[in-house]
């Protein structure tokens, strides 16, 4: 036992009685215990050790081919009242869901070991951190949770001996049956149940399940925010660092921005970029009234395909040691890994993600699954922030929303004030790309990039944002919107993107410090074209003007789309947001 907390012990006993494992192992987080588990997983071929000279401490794992991604249609929010889950979440009555799942867990771990994983989301001892306990029958889960969280006996420090404030996570691989796969959240009970999956996003319960779905609900009740946001710091040549948090839907370059490498013009001048987090931010007002953020995670759970030295050097470097690769190709010539987009030399003697022999030069099949992953320790990242483990978090100057829009949204604009910023975030959208199934160019609204991750009614979530603005007053971060994806008439991207996005971030920080003026448009404040630094780029001032163009006709269409989107929230939509929409329409004339 690693704790005397009776709330923890009683719950673990109840779950042991339900799942009936042959043995129970408490995970203390020690290297000796982890090495023993790695050896066991290697023996059963659950994990394959890779070339220890080229990739020290790295392993390969394959999931069942039916179990390769988060399953939104099998993910439920079970609140006692259906309306509290809202129109965007799948809902089921908690009593009904417990009744359905309890027989599935009954005896599910016979012949298996139950691992008890205590973990902290956020630095141990941080006033912003929270404790979870996950029970699982998967060594893969234990080893991934070791990378993704602060796992082990120290996690109980924040809980103490009497508190009941911990998230109860129960996971079993069961039979990996897709028809009986459930990822279920009971926000009012601080509980997550996951069954019949072995894939990361469904089974690493500290990740989206706790850090966003449960935490967003906790944040609403406790006066803080859990957001699907990266956190980065920009250090100027004088050594001052300003922090930005940013939310983007998938396929919009979020990890890339989090680990941005400054373009030459800034590098030479002595600017640096620091990564605090690539995916999730927990934000809370500090003693000075400003908004502070921590990254509750301790690692990166990144998509492998497309990650290479050019697209994201720092992410690739992060995977060079103590990393678990899932569903990538296994290069048998030197016992390393490969995925599409890593380089132009696919291995000829390899095993694909399904475990079949694969010749990359000849096969039409992909070697790695499109959603294959790496789980890498954040400490490996060359630009990890010195403040990464700061228990107080970092103060946020600006918040950014963004999506993938071919024509509508300009390169960058600033909201008129906090509530207008909440409006901008709540109406965030991306156009579908060829990567997604279905029609290309369809607008999918993804408020604050939280559509799949909000643990309660989205209308109440917007209201919570507005309340936070009232609480922060004039100390609130400034809110911006960016769009790196404007295209010309041939469909080519106009803005260079990648590291050059820093040029836009610099304007944003200048605005936060009132160092630069802006132009008022119907949608918000925009830069004067000459205030975006294009030194060293092969685009001119006219191109920047084009990137900042606001087409009123397109925006009238946008307003109609927003109105339709808002209708689903009924009377739970804050009146402030209806007023913001009305004001936008008036400004568009």
- pLDDT for 312-363, tens place per residue? 999 999 999 999 999 999 999 999 999 999 999 999 999 999 999 999 999 9
Residue range 6-40, pLDDT digits in tens: 999 999 999 999 999 999 999 999 999 999 999 99
pLDDT-above-70 percentage for the chain: 99
pTM, 2 dp = 0.97
**pLDDT (mean) for 50-74:** 96
Distances (CA, A) of 91 to 73, 171, 210: 11, 20, 17
Q: How high is the mean pLDDT of the chain?
A: 97
Higher pLDDT, 271 or 491: 271
Rounded-to-integer distance, Cα 167 and Cα 399, Å: 28
Residue range 229-255, pLDDT digits in tens: 999 999 999 999 999 999 999 889 999
Q: Which position among 19, 58, 78, 252 bears the catalytic label?
A: 252
Contacts of residue 122, defined as CB under 8 A and 6 or more positions apart, other chains included, come to 128, 129, 130, 150, 282, 294, 295, 296, 391
Rounded-to-integer distance, Cα 10 and Cα 572, Å: 38
Rounded-to-integer distance, Cα 339 and Cα 366, Å: 8
Helix or strand run (H / E) with residue 150: strand 150-151
What is the sign, positive or negative, of the torsion defined by CA atoms of 61, 62, 64, 66? positive
Residue-wise burial string across 198-212, b where 16 or more C-beta atoms lie within 10 A, e elsewhere:
bbbbbbbbbbbbbbb
**pLDDT (mean) for 393-400:** 98
Residue range 529-566, pLDDT digits in tens: 999 999 999 999 999 999 999 999 999 999 999 999 99
Provide the pLDDT for residue 515: 98
Provide the pLDDT for residue 437: 52
Provide the pLDDT for residue 433: 65
CATH of 300-378, picked from 3.30.565.10, 2.170.8.10, 3.20.20.80, 2.40.50.100, is: 2.170.8.10
In the chain, DSSP finds a helix count (H) and a strand count (E) of 16, 31
Tokens of 91: 């809902």
Rounded-to-integer distance, Cα 111 and Cα 483, Å: 53
Lookup result for tokens 């990166």: 300
Confidence of residue 114 (pLDDT cuts 50, 70, 90): very high
> Domain locations in the chain?
6-44+73-218, 227-299+386-588, 300-378
Rounded-to-integer distance, Cα 427 and Cα 239, Å: 36
Lookup result for tokens 């109406």: 427
Rounded (10°) CA dihedral 332, 335, 340, 345: -70
Provide the pLDDT for residue 471: 98
Provide the pLDDT for residue 280: 98
- Checking phi first, is residue 289 left (phi over 0); if not, alpha (psi -120 to 50) or beta? left
Closest C-alpha to 231, from 208, 260, 258, 261: 258
List the binding residues: 70, 199-201, 208, 228, 250-256, 279, 371-373, 404, 498-501
List the binding residues for substrate: 70, 199-201, 250, 371-373
Least confident of 113-127, 411-425, 433-447, 480-494: 433-447
Residue range 167-226, pLDDT digits in tens: 999 999 999 999 999 999 999 999 999 999 999 999 999 999 999 999 999 999 999 999
Provide the pLDDT for residue 549: 98
Rounded-to-integer distance, Cα 152 and Cα 164, Å: 18
Contacts of residue 416, defined as CB under 8 A and 6 or more positions apart, other chains included, come to 524, 525
Residue range 84-107, pLDDT digits in tens: 999 999 999 999 999 999 999 999
CATH of domain 6-44+73-218: 3.40.449.10
Active site residue 454: no
CATH of domain 227-299+386-588: 3.90.228.20
How do the residues of the chain divide into helix, strand and coil, expressed in percent and rounded to 5?
Answer: 35, 25, 45
| Residue 435 in this model has a pLDDT that exceeds 60 | no
Backbone angles phi, psi at 333, to 5 degrees: -65, -40
Provide the pLDDT for residue 536: 97
Tokens of 398: 């600006």
List the binding residues for GTP: 251-256, 373, 404, 498-501
Provide the pLDDT for residue 3: 97
By three-state DSSP, how is residue 342 classified?
A: coil
Tokens of 521: 């448009």
Provide the pLDDT for residue 251: 82
Rounded-to-integer distance, Cα 307 and Cα 339, Å: 9
Q: What is the CA radius of gyration of the chain?
A: 24
By three-state DSSP, how is residue 165 classified?
A: coil
Contacts of residue 467, defined as CB under 8 A and 6 or more positions apart, other chains included, come to none
| Residue 152 in this model has a pLDDT that exceeds 80 | yes
Rounded-to-integer distance, Cα 549 and Cα 543, Å: 10
């Amino acid at each position: 036992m690693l704790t005397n907390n009776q709330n923890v012990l009683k719950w673990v006993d109840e779950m042991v009685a339900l799942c009936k494992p042959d043995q129970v192992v408490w995970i203390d987080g020690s290297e000796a215990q982890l090495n023993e588990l790695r050896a066991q997983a290697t023996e059963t071929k659950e994990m394959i050790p890779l070339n220890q000279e080229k990739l020290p401490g790295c392993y390969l794992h394959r999931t069942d081919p039916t179990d390769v991604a988060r399953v939104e249609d099998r993910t439920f929010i079970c609140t006692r009242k259906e309306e509290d889950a809202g129109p965007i979440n799948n809902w089921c009555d908690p009593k009904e869901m417990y009744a359905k799942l309890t027989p599935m867990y009954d005896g599910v771990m016979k012949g298996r070991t139950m691992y008890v994983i205590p973990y902290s989301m956020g630095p141990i001892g941080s006033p912003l951190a929270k404790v979870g306990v996950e029970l699982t029958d998967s060594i893969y889960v234990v080893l991934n949770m070791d990378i993704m969280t602060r796992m082990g006996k120290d996690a109980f420090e924040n809980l103490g001996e009497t508190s009941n404030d911990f998230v109860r996570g129960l996971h079993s691989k069961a039979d990996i049956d897709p028809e009986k796969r459930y990822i279920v959240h009971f926000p009012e009970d601080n509980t997550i149940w996951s069954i019949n999956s072995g894939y990361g996003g469904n089974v690493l319960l500290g990740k989206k399940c706790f850090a966003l779905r449960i935490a967003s609900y906790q944040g609403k009740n406790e006066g803080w925010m859990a957001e699907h946001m990266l956190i980065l710091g920009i250090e100027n040549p004088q050594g001052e660092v300003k922090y930005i948090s940013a939310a983007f839907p998938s396929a919009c370059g979020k990890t890339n921005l989090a680990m941005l490498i400054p373009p030459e013009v800034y590098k030479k001048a002595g600017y640096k970029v620091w990564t605090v987090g690539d995916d999730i931010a927990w934000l809370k007002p500090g003693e000075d009234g400003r908004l502070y953020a921590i990254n509750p995670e301790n690692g990166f759970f990144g998509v492998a395909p497309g990650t290479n030295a050019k697209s994201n050097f720092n992410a690739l470097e992060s995977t060079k040691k103590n990393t678990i690769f899932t569903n990538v190709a296994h290069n048998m010539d030197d016992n390393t890994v490969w995925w599409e987009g890593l380089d132009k030399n696919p291995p000829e003697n390899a095993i694909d993600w399904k475990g079949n022999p694969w010749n990359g030069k000849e096969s039409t099949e992909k070697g790695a699954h499109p959603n294959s992953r790496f789980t890498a320790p954040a400490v490996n990242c060359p630009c990890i922030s010195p403040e990464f483990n700061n228990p107080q978090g970092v103060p946020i100057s600006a918040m950014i929303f963004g999506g993938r829009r071919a024509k509508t949204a300009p390169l960058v604009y600033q909201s008129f004030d906090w509530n207008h910023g909440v409006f901008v975030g709540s109406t965030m959208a991306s156009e579908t790309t060829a990567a997604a199934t279905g029609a290309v160019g369809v607008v999918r609204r993804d408020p604050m990039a939280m559509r799949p991750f909000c643990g309660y009614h989205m209308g109440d979530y917007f209201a919570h944002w507005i309340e936070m603005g009232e609480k922060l007053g004039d100390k609130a971060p400034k809110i911006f919107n960016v769009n790196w994806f404007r295209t010309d008439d041939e469909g080519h991207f106009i803005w260079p993107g990648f590291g050059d996005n820093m040029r836009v971030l610099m304007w944003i920080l200048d605005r936060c410090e009132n160092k630069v003026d802006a132009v008022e448009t119907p949608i918000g404040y925009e830069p004067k074209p000459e205030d975006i630094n294009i030194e060293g780029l092969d685009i001119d001032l006219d191109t920047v003007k084009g990137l900042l163009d606001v087409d009123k006709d397109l925006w009238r269409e946008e307003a109609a789309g927003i109105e339709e989107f808002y209708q689903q929230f009924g009377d739970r939509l804050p009146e402030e947001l209806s007023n913001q929409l009305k004001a936008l329409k008036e400004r568009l004339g």
